[in-house]
Amino acid sequence: MTSQRKFDPNKLDLDVYVQDVQGLGRGKGFKVIGKRSGLHTQSVTVPIKGRLLNLLSMLHKERLLSMQEVAGRFGLILPHDYQAFEEERDALRANLKETEGQRKEIEDELDKVKGEQEEAEEGFSEKLQGLTNLIADALEEDSEDWEFEGEEEDGDYVKLKFGLERLIDSFQALKAQEEES
pLDDT over threshold 70, residue 121: yes
Q: Contact, 22 vs 30, CB < 8 A?
A: yes
User: What pLDDT is attached to residue 14?
Assistant: 83
pLDDT over threshold 80, residue 149: no
User: What pLDDT is attached to residue 11?
Assistant: 81
Q: Contact, 24 vs 31, CB < 8 A?
A: yes
pLDDT in tens, 74-110: 888 777 777 777 888 889 999 998 999 899 999 999 9
User: pTM, whole model, 2 decimals?
Assistant: 0.38
At 30, which helix (H) or strand (E)? Answer: strand 30-37
- Tell me how far CA of residue 125 lies from CA of 12, 19, 110, 119, 156, in angstroms: 80, 87, 22, 10, 7
Mean pLDDT in residue range 151-173: 81
User: What pLDDT is attached to residue 153?
Assistant: 57
Q: Contact, 135 vs 160, CB < 8 A?
A: yes
Q: Write down the mean pLDDT value for the chain.
A: 86
